[in-house]
Amino acid sequence: MKKLLVLPVAICLVCTFSLRADEGMWMLPLLKELNIEKMQELGLELSAEDIYSINNSSIKDAIVIFGGGCTGEIISDQGLVLTNHHCGYGIIQSHSSVDNDYLTDGFWAATREEEIPSPGLSVTFLVRIEDVSERILDELNPEMTEQQRNAVAGMISRTLEHEATQGTGYFARVQPYFGGNQYHMMVYERFTDVRLVGTPPSSIGKFGGDTDNWMWPRQTGDFALFRVYTARDGSPAEYSDDNIPLNPKHHLPVSTRGVEEGDFTMVLGFPGGTTRYMTSCEVNDVLEITHPNRIKIRGARQEILLEDMMASDKVRIQYANKYSGSTNYWKFSIGQSEILKRLDIYQQKKDLESSFTRWVNEDGDRQQKYGGALGKISRAIADNREYNSAIQYINETILRSCEIVAMANRSNNLLGLLSLQNPDQQAVDNAVMLLGNSAAGFYKDYNPPTDQKVVAVMLEKFYNAVDSEHHPVILSEINKKYKGDFEKYAEDLFKNSIFASEQKLAGFLSNPTKKKLETDPAMQLARSTYQKLGELREVSGEHFNELSRGQRLFIAGIMEKNPGEVFYPDANFSMRLTYGTAAGYKPRDAVRYAYLTTIEGKIEKEDPSSREFIIPEKLMELYNKKDYGVYAKDGKLAVNFITNNDITGGNSGSPVINARGELVGLAFDGNWEAMSGDIAFEPELQRCIAVDARYILFIIDKFADATHLIEEMTIVN
């Protein structure tokens, strides 16, 4: 039986299913069928084949997964990669020290030899997308449980992935779409020799800091440059002095024309995840559990980190990336909570569900097929609420916050080997070597006194907030022994654990024993915590299966209810395209935001007393002289602009491309007034914030004097 190819896993669940041209994260193989005519009406001068082609060079060949959670693009025929400063922030931080503070001062390689190898960093190209729905769905049936469906789908997926990549050097990933009503396979090629080429100082790349994060108007130069290297035959290779710059299938020309309001724009990238199919009870769960937990926990930890970072340059550099990663979604939770309530998304979802229920009840067959869908979802959410909250608390307070626990957990493999009756000495030696190598990176960015404070605060928060039934066993023992004094426990933990410093761990690894490892207090805390987490996940998993079944049925019902509609799938970190126009917006009564900011706005925000609003001396000199080179228009230097393109996390670093296929901007953020966008798209409010390509070129050329990088790009006027 032929399956429908376009089904909605991520329907815009507001009051209507009518889609605007600027809404949707679209699958590239379906552009010709679904989108290209509308895109051309808006101004696109390209064909669908120009954007996505398997057999010929196309724009998709210039777009990469940067690292593990961002997008980047190739902007020269020598493998130069453009992405966001915040996407490369962890790499920039890892190369920084008090003596070479690239976070504060920036870095620009004058020659290829000066480009900095970045172990662990990769870029990944999409080779092709295949619809494998029939291969999988033909083996599934309605009588299967969700566990059975997942097992069968997983087995077939592994077979398909093997068939697609055998003997190629590629890897593949089959992913469910539309609630498991469709499956696509992505075939990828990954390159692992990626080197840092250039980054502006944080006063440019992170201008506005946490204060401006998620806000418009912005004046941020959020970009960084890297380069991909290959073996001499062009194949992926580990770092080597013999490697050469990548010769890409396609690279994006960079435009100095800029964009005018109303100009066509499209964004290609790897959006991480949206949940626009979310029902009212799920929205309620986010508002009452997920966001409040995150705000409370991360806020407390961030206060500790920031205090120590402000007191020491060494600690500031060590914790810069950790702090930034934490605050980003801490502020997101604050903003999304506010906007979900302000726009009354809960009621919008309720209205849609009422319409769906009326439609189901009009027909006996529909009642049999879809009548239980919403009930399954609501029961699963209600039954899982306490387990879900406890799991979140374990992850946020202990596993993500207490670094010593994370380090101790890395030694599980070694403990397992030492626990054998006759340990294999070679295996033990290998495990010791791996743990020692891991420790070097960990302790480089670790400050024990900071972590000791965090451990005390986080464990106390967990103990007081989570029902004792869901506590790791060791937590009750700690509370009893120390009479609720978690500061004293943390003090003893760091005094006695082999993981409290690199020197202590090195001493242990010189003569590792089972007894020493299994009695270590950090190891005991880690093992007890993970044991409880496993128990909670097992119970939660049963509710999740019920939730998945309800969602799949609801989606199928919505599809049947609206047979004439065209829908787009939820974001799942596979390549998507969104299209729209450069556009300002009206955030509230009597306020209208323009679509473009200039360097004048950056100067207006200068505040030498705030680390977030410092302007480098050289940039101020260029501004005072109005020395903008060829990058200004009518004497104005554009910095950021906004479009109504539909984006989310993972789109950071995505190119904003004009009607001719040229890069005009670099997406880096969404706006505060539409932070409900992952759950419900608001066309009048939702905006994509981008760095203007002209500002990027200006910083590279005039500020950094890295004209050699400009010369290798294809610049179009």
Of 25, 20, 33, nearest to 8 (Cα)? 25
Strand, helix or coil for residue 577: strand
Taking the C-alpha atoms of residue 59 and residue 47, their distance in angstroms, rounded to an integer, is 11
CB of 638 closer than 8 Å to CB of 598: yes
Strand, helix or coil for residue 433: helix
CB of 85 closer than 8 Å to CB of 222: yes
Catalytic residue among 53, 61, 86, 337: 86
3-state secondary structure string across 197-245 = EEECCHHHHCCCHHHHCCCCCCCCCCCEEEEEEECCCCCCCCCCCCCEE
Catalytic residue among 133, 652, 654, 676: 652
Of 498, 494, 401, nearest to 449 (Cα)? 494
User: Which DSSP string corresponds to 275-298?
Assistant: -TT--HHHHHHIIIIIHHHHHHHH
Number of Cα atoms under 13 Å in the Cβ half of residue 687: 26
Catalytic residue among 61, 193, 222, 701: 222
**86 an active-site residue?**
yes
Q: Find tokens 């997920």 and name the residue.
A: 290
CB of 95 closer than 8 Å to CB of 108: no
**235 an active-site residue?**
no
Helix pair angle (486-496, 521-561), 10° resolution = 110
Beta bridge partners, 189, equal: 125
Paired sense of beta strands 254-255 and 715-716, if any: parallel
Taking the C-alpha atoms of residue 640 and residue 119, their distance in angstroms, rounded to an integer, is 32
C-alpha radius of gyration, the chain, whole number: 26
Which two structure tokens, joined as six digits, stand for 493?
Answer: 């933990």
**222 an active-site residue?**
yes
CB of 26 closer than 8 Å to CB of 269: no
Phi-psi sector, 489: left (phi>0), alpha (psi -120 to 50), beta: alpha
Provide the annotated active-site residues. 86, 222, 652
